[in-house]
Structure 1
Amino acid sequence: MTIELKKVNIEDKEILRNLLEKYDYEFSQWDNRDVNKLGLYGYNYLDCYWTEEKRWAFFIVVDGNLAGFVMINDYPEVDEVTDYSLAEFFVMYKYRRSGVGRFAAMKVFDMFHGKWQLKRHPKNIASVHFWNKVVSEYTKSNYKLIESYPNSVYNDGTLGDIILFTS
């Protein structure tokens, strides 16, 4: 299996928008978000990935097929200084539990050296286990977990967990 990260260029924006809808649909089981009048979730910051510095989007590609995406920015939700925030991370079902997500996460951490933060919804148990395992392995257990961080509220009112580490 060949796994790679491919930068999302502006001409690929609609592809990313389509994948974001699938991601948001799945995530709505935890954050209870509704669709808009067009039946879409929408992603308010999508255009910013081509109009602002310090925003990066990558497709996860497996054997030439789209398998998900990674979106990174520098907008922390914590009071601590960080360089990067894992804004969105999505691996399609077909590619889960095969090492694709682990590879993509570690590749991104290696590409962007510095202080990281990632936010996870505590009700998304699969995500909780995934990030605990991946970040622990990547950092050799040298990270900080802040559960129910006060300034990280999801649409359903749940406080997000924040993981801080350095790559």
Structure 2
Amino acid sequence: MIIKTVDRATAHIYDNLCQAYEAEFSPLTHKHPNADGLFAKDTLLEGNITGYLALNDDIPAGLAAIKQQDHHDFEVCEFYVVPVFRRHKLGQRFAAALFDQMSGNWQIKQIEGADQAIAFWRSVINTYTSGQFLEENYTDPYWGAVTRQTFKAH
């Protein structure tokens, strides 16, 4: 797996994967595509938000949008692994590589009803931190009720 930072040359790949991500979560977000069949993105790659692509044998396999709130505070805003690459630890390796690259305080939130995402993040963070993380129910100003994990990456 190779991780690339999204730039002008790869922005279209990120945008294409975002459509699959938004469609997958549409039953929970209640979002509908527009007249062209496209979903609006919740997180734009601008300011302090950087996009990343995970490539598996040069095939786009996943995306992440990471918000850097200050030098050592990070939030996973978006994270998606193409279904065919799931269950092969690609998502876990992708997340761990991002945590290793950006040491500091992290938070990750999953919307209510995203049970598979909650289980995924619990497993990933538990493995990464050897169980040293906090999980809580949290009311997010944008998403409402979410499950939130916080931890420190080394």
| Letter of the 1:126 counterpart | Q
2:140 corresponds, among 126, 151, 165, to 151
Q: Any idea what SS the aligned residue of 1:141 has?
A: coil
Structure 1 ranges of 4+ moved more than 4 A: none
CA distance 1:43–1:116, shift in 2 (3 Å)? same
C-alpha separation in 2, matches of 1:47 and 1:94: 25
User: Are 1:110 and 2:108 an aligned pair?
Assistant: no
C-alpha separation in 1, matches of 2:134 and 2:85: 28
Contact 2:43 2:77 (8 Å CA) reproduced: no
User: Are 1:61 and 2:59 an aligned pair?
Assistant: no
**RMSD between superposed Cα atoms in Å:** 1.8
Q: Any idea what SS the aligned residue of 2:145 has?
A: coil
Relative to the length of structure 1, the TM-score reads: 0.83
Q: Equivalent pairs: percent with the same residue?
A: 25
CA apart distance, 1:119: 0.6
Relative to the length of structure 2, the TM-score reads: 0.90
**Structure 2: tracts of 5 or more residues without a match:** none
Q: Any idea what SS the aligned residue of 1:159 has?
A: strand
**Structure 1: tracts of 5 or more residues without a match:** 77-81
CA distance 1:93–1:6, shift in 2 (3 Å)? same
C-alpha separation in 2, matches of 1:66 and 1:47: 18
Number of residue equivalences: 152
Q: Any idea what SS the aligned residue of 2:139 has?
A: coil
Q: How does 1:66-105 map to 2 (within 5 A)?
A: 66-74=60-68, 83-105=73-95
Contact 2:32 2:39 (8 Å CA) reproduced: yes
Residue by residue over 1:49-69, the C-alpha shift from the partner in whole angstroms, topping out at 9 and shown as x without a partner, is xxx2x3221111011111011
Q: Who is 1:161 aligned against?
A: 147
Q: Who is 1:23 aligned against?
A: 21
Q: Who is 2:6 aligned against?
A: 8
C-alpha separation in 1, matches of 2:151 and 2:80: 20
CA apart distance, 1:25: 0.3
